[in-house]
Structure formats: C-alpha cells, structure tokens
Chains A and B, each alone.
Chain A
C-alpha cells in the first residue's frame, strides 16, 4: 500500500543521521537549561554535572529527571528559558489536585507544534484539500488549539467546533462536510449515539479520518468507532508539558505510534528504579524536549505506561514506535496489592463482544478489605425478561475480569446512560477508600 507523510524527509530520516541531529540538539539544550533556568542549574550542580559533560545523545542518562512536582514548585513561569517578550502563547492543564501546570511557547515552539501535528494528520492521509472538525476544548487545554495548528499547518480548512452541544456538532458535521474529526474517543461514541438515536444516517456525514486521544481507549473501542462513524481512526498522543498533541502519532500501518524523535527524545524506564527497561518491556515514558525554546523540559517523567516496538514499521518511518498507552502510573489502582489499570477492565468488556463501552470501577473498603465493583451499562440486546439471563451475564463479565486481574470483582448491571459522563470523558474510576491508595 502507499503510505502518506507530511514531512517525508524528517519522518524517514536514517537513524544514524537522526542520532547526529539529536546529539547536536541535546548538547545545546543542556547549555540553555543550565544557563537560563535556575532549577536546572541547581539540579546539575547538586550532582556535579556540567553542561560540557553532555557531548552526545548517549549522555542523556547523566541528566536529572524532571517531575510534575517540579513544575508545581516553579509555578507559573520559573521553568521558562526565555524572557516573556519571546513567549507568544500560554496553556495550562487542569490541576485536579493542586496547582495547574503552566506551559509556554515561543513562535518557534508553535512552528514545531504545527509541524508535528501536521505530521500526525498527514500520517492518516489528510491534505490541504481536507476539512477538519476539531472537537477538543479550544482554550487553556492544548487539544483544541493543538489540533487547529496542525490542521492549519497542513493547509486544511479548520472548524474550531470545540466541545459540547452534540446536536450542533452533528449539524456542522452534516452541513460543513468536514472530512476529519479530532476529539476524545468517548466523545466520538457520544456522536455515534446521537446520530443513531436521531435516526441520522452516517452517510450524511463526510468523515474519512478520525484522530482520537487525550484518554485511554482500546482496540475494540477503535473498531466500534470506525464501524459506527464509518471512518479510519488514528490514535494520537501528547501532553502539554512536552508540547500538546503531536508528540506521537499512529500511521496507516496501525501498529503503534511513532514518536517525533527529532523533537522529543524518548526513554522508557522502570518507574521504581529509574533504570531503562529492557527493549520491548512496559515502563514509564520519559521525554526530553530537544528543540523547544520556552519550556525545554529535560527527562520529563510522564507517568504514562508504554513499550517500544523494535521491528521497523512497514510505513517507512524510522522514528521509534511505541504501543498504545497501557495506562498511567497514577491512574493505576492498587487493590489488595494488585496493580489495576482501568484500561484492562475496558479491554475485557470489549473482548466479550456486544458490551456497552461505558463502565465504571468503584473501589471501596469494607473493614480492612478493598472491594472492587464494576458497573456495566446493560444493552437492549442483553435484556430478556429472565433473571437467570442477567445473572449469567454478570457471571460471564465477572469471571472474565477476574481472570484478567487476578482479583474477585462484583459486577453490577445498570441502566444505559446512567454512568456519569461529561461531554467527552466518562468517569471511569470512583475510589471511595478514605486513604489515597493510588501509586505515586
């Protein structure tokens, strides 16, 4: 098959050449952060490291890690390496606990963002002739403006639809005829629900591609979105601290996500020891911003879990592929000493077939014992008038989850649409334990 690219030269660059570029960039970045950011100067000095010690990309292991807490401690601007006169954009991510995480961009940084997001869209086949419908929030969150800058960089007509008001969104999808859609996977399903409930034929939409991210989703969910919205879907990954969406993206081979390695250096480490995991093993993803000016984070610990795919990709891109994200170290629930990722439960439900993708995990503590309850929305097709059919369904779900997690669970069937969802994201975990048992 023929694969599509936005910047074929950069995306298929031989790896030895890429390494030379990365080395040059890192040597420069080490000097910049030492000279311009007091936090890094202190971090270097504390371990007796001089910027001159960084001579090659391999020396990255000598550099200290950066944590989310460091961003909070330097709130709002103390990690910026440039004066405010050079900053042209500020975004912030919602801090559910504590302060927001504030990020800044120079004009050059916005160019990089446009470039990597254009690569993301281009990898799916989007060209200047397309029309893009961006249903991420356009605001402090990087999803909307990040999708927009990529869409505009590639030259597509860009509709800043933003979030909410599904009825109006569907009218835009029908009338403005966008050919690609960016939103969360659960919002894509909300759109699919809406058009089915209102007997709107998917043929009245012109969507060819969908780029979905900002929350974990499974392969099964992907297939469901593709079937119901009649489009080809692509996983996108990013985080505001690094740049926003565009850090890694799926190509038409649909086997993992390519990291834009000429801009973001990736390491995968054991979250407990900080050492590299063996190739092909799951670990915490760590990124270094090689080319960014305003917020050049070094070895930033994302808390996202993934692994590298070592085989070369049939699409010809040389940039490292990582698998779909398996969860977050901080979404990880520890229940009776067992690590549980919400995405595991979702995968089980989707594998069982004919299940609602909406579920909620509730963790409670009875006496000294953690209990795990999974709420699953009942579908029309599953409901007969017979108690024993529903009991059998509960047992089937319960034993499938139990064999995946190695934990006994209680399954509760609930009516459709009763699990809390905001426009976009479903609330997947409710932890009622008094003590915070989440991993750090």
Chain B
C-alpha cells in the first residue's frame, strides 16, 4: 500500500529532534513510525503520522522545512525471514531501495516495512 511519509529537515544540534515533535504535540498529531537519518551537520526526520495534512500545516507555520512523499508500506508476518523473502524478490528484480525502516502493527503479529523505491507500482506488482 502507498503511505504518505513526512520528512522534516533538522540541523544537527541539541533539541533539533524534540522541537518538531513539540509542534506535533500541539497539533494533536500522533506518529506511527519515526526514524532519523543523520549526516555531520543536518538530519532528516522521517515519519508516518495519523494526520499528515495537519502535521504539515503545523510544522510549516513553525518555520520547518517539510516534504511529503509516497513510500511503499509492506505488511509482513512478524516471523523470522518475512522481510528477507520480500527483499530477495526485489533484489532478484534489480530494484534499488533508497532507504527503509519498519514498525509494528497495525495488527498484532504484523509488521509494516516502509520502502523508498523509485516506482511503487512496479514494486507492488513484483511482490504480488
């Protein structure tokens, strides 16, 4: 399934991750998944939230640089090898993955893997 991913640009300094989360608290937005990619002087927070539009409005008003992009959400069984088998299929099909992370749920016993891939439709087709 296609998920809306929220990305936030943050500088590399104390408090930089907490500040946008404070904005989301104010806006009453809940995060389902959260990860930070970092470099020496800046980072990108990537999140899946329950209300993307509300989050974007709140963050922009507070001066954050944000981006919303489509990512692939892959529902997997919570058992050894589940993610491996999916990735193996993509690897065999020569699909490059830009980045990936995973979160539990929404149902117990399930894991959702998030994949940033160039073409979500073709990847979904491969994994069918």
Q: A385, B69: Cβ atoms under 8 Å?
A: yes
User: Cβ of B9 < 8 Å from any Cβ of A?
Assistant: yes
Residues of A within 8 A of B42 (CB): 390, 412-413
**B7 contact from A384, A391, A415, Cβ within 8 A:** A384
Residue of B nearest to A410 (CB): B41
Residues of B within 8 A of A380 (CB): 65-66
User: Cβ of A386 < 8 Å from any Cβ of B?
Assistant: yes
Residues of B within 8 A of A383 (CB): 7, 9, 65-67
Which one of A385, A386, A390, A413 has the greatest number of beta carbons of chain B within 10 Å?
A: A385
User: Cβ of A20 < 8 Å from any Cβ of B?
Assistant: no
* Bound CA span A268–B31, Å: 63
Q: B65, A416: Cβ atoms under 8 Å?
A: yes
Q: A387, B63: Cβ atoms under 8 Å?
A: no
**B9 contact from A391, A413, A417, Cβ within 8 A:** A413
* Bound CA span A413–B39, Å: 12
User: Cβ of A251 < 8 Å from any Cβ of B?
Assistant: no
* Bound CA span A319–B7, Å: 56
Residue of A nearest to B64 (CB): A415
**B11 contact from A384, A385, A386, A415, Cβ within 8 A:** A415
Report the minimum CB–CB distance from B102 to chain A (whole Å): 17
Report whether over half of chain A's contact residues are helix, strand or loop; otherwise say mixed: loop
User: Cβ of A84 < 8 Å from any Cβ of B?
Assistant: no
**B67 contact from A384, A417, A418, Cβ within 8 A:** A384
Q: A385, B65: Cβ atoms under 8 Å?
A: no
Return the CB mask of B7-29 against A: 1 if under 8 Å, else 0.
10111000000000000000000
* Bound CA span A6–B52, Å: 57
Q: A378, B65: Cβ atoms under 8 Å?
A: yes
Residues of A within 8 A of B39 (CB): 387, 390-391
User: Cβ of B92 < 8 Å from any Cβ of A?
Assistant: no
- Count B interface residues, CB 8 Å: 20
Residues of A within 8 A of B11 (CB): 412, 414-415
Return the CB mask of B81-121 against A: 1 if under 8 Å, else 0.
00000000000000000110000000000000000100000
Residue of A nearest to B116 (CB): A385
* Bound CA span A413–B40, Å: 11
User: Cβ of B5 < 8 Å from any Cβ of A?
Assistant: yes
Q: A384, B65: Cβ atoms under 8 Å?
A: no
Q: A417, B63: Cβ atoms under 8 Å?
A: yes
User: Cβ of B44 < 8 Å from any Cβ of A?
Assistant: yes
* Bound CA span A89–B85, Å: 84
* Bound CA span A189–B9, Å: 24
Contact residues, A338-383 vs B (CB, 8 A): 378-380, 383
17 further contact pairs, Cβ within 8 A, besides A386-B116, A415-B9, A418-B63: A380-B65, A380-B66, A383-B65, A383-B67, A385-B5, A385-B69, A385-B116, A386-B98, A390-B39, A390-B42, A391-B39, A412-B11, A412-B41, A413-B41, A413-B42, A415-B11, A415-B65
Q: Please name 26 pairs of A and B residues whose Cβ atoms are closer than 8 Å in the assembled complex, sorted by A.
A: A378-B9, A379-B65, A380-B65, A380-B66, A383-B65, A383-B66, A385-B44, A385-B46, A386-B98, A386-B99, A386-B116, A390-B9, A390-B42, A390-B44, A391-B39, A412-B41, A413-B41, A414-B11, A415-B9, A415-B10, A415-B63, A415-B64, A415-B65, A416-B63, A416-B65, A418-B63
